Amino acid sequence: MTKVIYPGQTIGIIGGGQLGRMMALAAKESGFKIAVLEPTMDSPCGQVADIRIVANYDDESALEELAEVSDVITFEFENIDYEGLKRLGQIANVPQGAELVRITQDRIIEKASLVEAGVEVSPYVVAQTYEELVERVATIGYPCVVKTARGGYDGKGQQTLYNEKDLIKAKPLFDHAACVAEAFVSFTKEISVIVQRSSNGDTYCQPIGENIHVNHILHETIVPARIEETTAQKAEQAAIQIANALQLVGTLAVEMFVLKDGGILINELAPRPHNSGHYSIEACNVSQFHQHIRAVCGWPLRKPELWAPSIMVNVLGQHVMPLTNAIAKYPHWSIHFYGKKEAKENRKMGHVTIMTENIDATLEEINASSIWSE
């Protein structure tokens, strides 16, 4: 039976980054209190939390303290201690469980789970060592992308190989972990579907986002994605299929490739709210963060509806000053900053959401602002 968490009770969040912050802000609108476990004191989530537990994610006593002060516990990213989360589930209310973290922390397990769920992925091979990669890469051919099985984000921990001579470039990836090599797929777009599911099986998808990356970091998300309706249906169906197969509670972001024939391939999973869903704060009747809080607190989910076409643009460290100087010029932009102290280059510092009736004109406006010019 689903345990319902009521206003006035406390939601514990493992991880103090911007996703935790936006979760916390959504939760506070409904009257919840927030406890956060995070190694740094002045984290984005810590700034808006009621209780701050400053410790590493695998600190046993800190996890026990979080359990004591929380009525339900969630997490804002997947690179947390799986064993610690599993133990936490024995003494606290962790509706998402630990299994989804185990699966998404390891690309080898994730790929196998996707295949088992019956969805299509790029052809791939698993290599425990560099020597195994050399032996097996011919199975998928060139070009291909080699990714470390564990860790890696925003393009880190991966190497594209265009021919046999490039093989040596992948050798350093094996210093820390096994790898997955994926055939390079000729795709027309990258999209993401954020699927959210409650413990009683209620399942909804946020409107599909079309993602544009610059230097392997998400730059813009355009909603609705500029894809055929049949492709959109396939994408939603695949996301729901994965959510059901994994017995999802909470939020799962499913990143996909759109092929020339309108088909889709599943790329990666993230078991949490996702950068590409930030537009939903302004542009939908229920944001990914509000829906996530509803799911983990046992509340009924809402069917997401898009108020207007929208573009979300990431604000990295190098964009902070030009954006700040341009605030007066763009009153129709919704500007979010995450409370991070130091604006380092390529560090995610915030985002902008622009609701619009003309996507092309707004893309031109973004480019003309020169804020994101490289």
Q: What is the pTM of this model?
A: 0.95
Residue-level pLDDT at 155: 58
Place of tokens 């055929």: 228
Task: Report yes or no on 115 lying in a domain.
Answer: no
Both 292 and 324 in one domain: the answer is: yes
Both 191 and 174 in one domain: the answer is: no
Is the pLDDT assigned to residue 327 strictly greater than 60?
A: yes
Task: Report yes or no on 250 lying in a domain.
Answer: yes
**What beta strand segments (E) does 271-359 contain?**
310-316, 334-337, 348-355
CATH for 178: 3.30.1490.20
- How many domains are contained in the chain? 3
Task: Report yes or no on 359 lying in a domain.
Answer: yes
Both 170 and 231 in one domain: the answer is: no
Among candidate residues 108, 315, 109, the one with its CA nearest the CA of residue 98: 109
Kindly report the backbone phi and psi dihedral angles of residue 71, in degrees, each rounded to the nearest multiple of 5, phi listed first.
Answer: -95, -20
- Residues 104-130 have pLDDT tens digits of 999 999 999 999 999 999 999 999 999
Residue-level pLDDT at 177: 82
Quick one: what percent of the chain has pLDDT higher than 70?
98
Contacts (Cβ under 8 Å, ≥6 apart) of 143: 160, 161, 162, 163, 184
Task: Report yes or no on 132 lying in a domain.
Answer: yes
Burial of 85 (0-12, 13-18, 19+ CB in 10 A): buried
Burial of 65 (0-12, 13-18, 19+ CB in 10 A): middle
Residue-level pLDDT at 157: 85
Instruction: Say how far apart CA 224 and CA 362 lie, in whole Å.
Output: 14
Both 205 and 167 in one domain: the answer is: no
Task: Report yes or no on 293 lying in a domain.
Answer: yes
Q: Answer for the pair 76, 19: CB distance below 8 angstroms, yes or no.
A: yes
Tokens of 91: 């003494």
Both 356 and 322 in one domain: the answer is: yes
Is the pLDDT assigned to residue 152 strictly greater than 90?
A: no
CATH for 36: 3.40.50.20
Residue-level pLDDT at 151: 77
- Is the N-terminal amide bond of 207 cis, ω within 30° of 0? no
Q: Which domain holds residue 322?
A: 187-368
Residue-level pLDDT at 1: 59
Return the DSSP state at 159: E
Q: How far does Cα 282 stand from its chain's mean position?
A: 18
Residue-level pLDDT at 281: 98
Task: Report yes or no on 113 lying in a domain.
Answer: no
Give mean pLDDT, residues 312-325.
Answer: 98
CATH for 279: 3.30.470.20
Both 228 and 361 in one domain: the answer is: yes
Give mean pLDDT, residues 197-219.
Answer: 95
How confident is residue 167, by pLDDT bands cut at 50, 70 and 90? very high
> Quick one: CA torsion of 14, 20, 21, 25, rounded to 10 degrees?
-100
Task: Report yes or no on 69 lying in a domain.
Answer: yes
Both 225 and 81 in one domain: the answer is: no
Mean pLDDT of the chain: 96
Both 172 and 224 in one domain: the answer is: no
Tokens of 137: 């890469």
CB count, 10 Å around CB of 215?
10
- Residues 34-73 have pLDDT tens digits of 999 999 989 999 999 999 999 999 999 999 999 999 999 9
Both 75 and 129 in one domain: the answer is: no
Both 248 and 288 in one domain: the answer is: yes
- Residues 248-291 have pLDDT tens digits of 999 999 999 999 999 999 999 999 999 999 999 999 999 999 99
Both 172 and 269 in one domain: the answer is: no
Give mean pLDDT, residues 90-100.
Answer: 96
Task: Report yes or no on 107 lying in a domain.
Answer: no
Residue-level pLDDT at 374: 66
Beta strands 179-183 and 10-14 are unpaired
- Residues 331-363 have pLDDT tens digits of 999 999 999 999 999 999 999 999 999 999 999
Is the pLDDT assigned to residue 310 strictly greater than 70?
A: yes
- Of 183, 218, 234, the one marking the end of a domain is 183
Return the DSSP state at 145: E
How confident is residue 153, by pLDDT bands cut at 50, 70 and 90? low
- The amino acid sitting at 171 is K
Is the pLDDT assigned to residue 154 strictly greater than 70?
A: no
Give mean pLDDT, residues 135-154.
Answer: 89
- Of 139, 165, 183, the one marking the end of a domain is 183
Residue-level pLDDT at 79: 84
Both 238 and 271 in one domain: the answer is: yes
Beta strands 10-14 and 72-75 are parallel
